[in-house]
Amino acid sequence: MTITPSQNRTLFNELAAVLRGDQLLLPDDAAYEQVRQLWNGRVKTRPAAIARCLTVEDVIHTIRWTRSQGLPLSVRGAGHEIFGRSLFENGVAIDLSQMRAVTINPDTRTAKIQGGATAGDLIEAAQQYGLATATGTISSVGMTGLTLGGGYGSLIGAYGLVADNLLSAQVVTADGQLVRANAEEHPDLLWGLRGGGGNFGVVVSLEFRLHPQTTVLSGMLLYPLEQARAVLHRFNEFIATAPDELTIQSGFIQTPDGQTVLLLSPTYCGSLEAGEEAIAPLRTFGTVLVDQVQPVTYHALIHGADAFTPKGRHYYLQTQSLKGFQTETIEALIEQGLPLPSPFSMINIHNFHGAASRVGVSETAFALRQDHLMVELIAAWEPQSKDEDRRHIQWAQNISQALAPFAFKGGYISLLDEQEQERVPLAFGSNYERLLDLKRRYDPDDIFRSTVGHLTP
């Protein structure tokens, strides 16, 4: 069924009546455009209606009504999304962004959050008890989306992926039933939620394991571009034996004066004294132009990255996962990736190691469980023209293609675009058939399609 501009509110009266408060937005509502806008301003998709759910019952009613009308259904969490899969044109979007409550139990060291809560919401609540958990690197990223994709971050070596810290979840399935997934109830679904993509239902709450963590040793080390090859070769040797507590992002950024530099950004989550000792060798890899490494709260660390990725700018990403830095991959990054196409663009490389690598391939849906570097090729620009859009997109695609021969054949499921459907089965590897079986059981009619090339039931 397709909703045309000429249709009025009559169709949606029944749904609006059962939602708590006046929470159904249609395209001619004053607040529609602001609510519709995702983090990535490049996404222009306009759903026929946005159901701003406040309760689990709102979610259940919306699923059942939308299915009865034969309309496409999508799910939006915090809205920090790159490819716009949380919105369908002329469909109904379940918007969880107002369901952000966080409850901390300091005795059991656990956190329960609603489906729209961000990393910042969780960190702020947990820090009051001297606790934290693995999150992404930006405070506005939704914890649900992070978990469903796996979730790389600065504490990955010590605590694993975000998904590795998920203890339980409540999910509204495609038939409008609320189920609890944990070690005893629906353990198969819990397995799939840990990095298997958002294809099984609407996750309305999650429970995470917390860890004693307040202050970390972190910051940026910048090196001149002409030393990048030598520094990255030494860095590659260094990370092979780095302790779990030390996770280091690397990459290329442009400084405010227009200079392209190599970035190493360590985060050490143990004692500050041990951290200083562990990080010290990095300063000998080359000429350090800027050294901002210092003790900071985890809260400050995550919020510190927000200014670099504001909502509404245009973004495009490609990813490749490498076994490590080889001469060929270093050359591809420098020769194909530089100069960066805009002052806002960057090459950001995650260091997957430690606790995350010790999880068995079949223990969670996330399958790439060996040390690797996940390369994010982030094109970011202020909108000007379609030609300008194509130039930035082509930049990311060109580097990705140059790295592909040296990369794992799958990819990070959250950051694959619609043209990369063939990488989905490869990303899940031996877990793919099990995920297909889950899809057939929990969503046999293929209602939820947030993973690229969604798992066909």
Distance, CA of 316 to chain centre: 14
Tell me the residue range of the domain where 348 lies.
215-420
Three-state DSSP class for residue 328: helix
Q: Using the 8-state DSSP alphabet, how is residue 342 labeled?
A: S
Q: Is residue 382 domain-shared with residue 326, that is, in the same domain?
A: yes
The CATH number of the domain holding residue 396 is 3.40.462.20
Q: Is residue 202 domain-shared with residue 316, that is, in the same domain?
A: no
Q: Is residue 339 domain-shared with residue 254, that is, in the same domain?
A: yes
Is pTM beyond 0.85 here?
yes
Cα diameter, the chain: 68
For residue 415, the number of C-alpha atoms closer than 13 Å in the C-beta half-sphere is 22
DSSP 176-232: S-EEEESSSSSHHHHHHHTTS-S-S-EEEEEEEE-EE--EEEE--EEEEGGGHHHHH
Asked if 32 and 25 count as a contact pair (C-beta separation under 8 A), the reply is yes
- Whose structure tokens read 């094109």? 379
Number of domains composing the chain? 3
Distance CA 367, CA 196 (A): 9
Residue 432 lies in a domain: no
Token representation of residue 251 = 């990459």
Q: Is residue 286 domain-shared with residue 155, that is, in the same domain?
A: no
The CATH number of the domain holding residue 152 is 3.30.465.10
Query: Which of 162, 179, 213 finishes a domain?
Result: 213
Among 137, 160, 330, smallest CA distance to 251 is for: 330
Residue 69 lies in a domain: yes
Residue 22 has pLDDT above 90, yes or no: no
* Mean pLDDT of all residues in 23-27: 95
Residue 442 lies in a domain: no
* Mean pLDDT of all residues in 163-171: 98
- Whose structure tokens read 């995470």? 208
Distance CA 187, CA 202 (A): 17
Distance CA 198, CA 411 (A): 16
- pLDDT, tens digit, for every residue of 302-348? 999 898 999 999 999 999 999 999 999 999 999 999 999 999 999 99
The CATH number of the domain holding residue 33 is 3.30.43.10
What is the length of the chain? 457
pLDDT band at 385 (very low <50, low <70, confident <90, very high): confident
DSSP 232-268: HHHHHHHHTT--TTEEEEEEEEE-TTS-EEEEEEEEE
Q: Is residue 238 domain-shared with residue 376, that is, in the same domain?
A: yes
Buried b (16+ CB within 10 A) or exposed e, 299-322: bebbbbbeeebeeebbbbbbbbbb
Residue 5 has pLDDT above 60, yes or no: no
Residue 383 lies in a domain: yes
Buried b (16+ CB within 10 A) or exposed e, 198-237: bbbbbbbbbbbbbbebebbbbbbbbbebebbbebbebbbe
Residue 2 has pLDDT above 90, yes or no: no
* Mean pLDDT of all residues in 175-188: 97
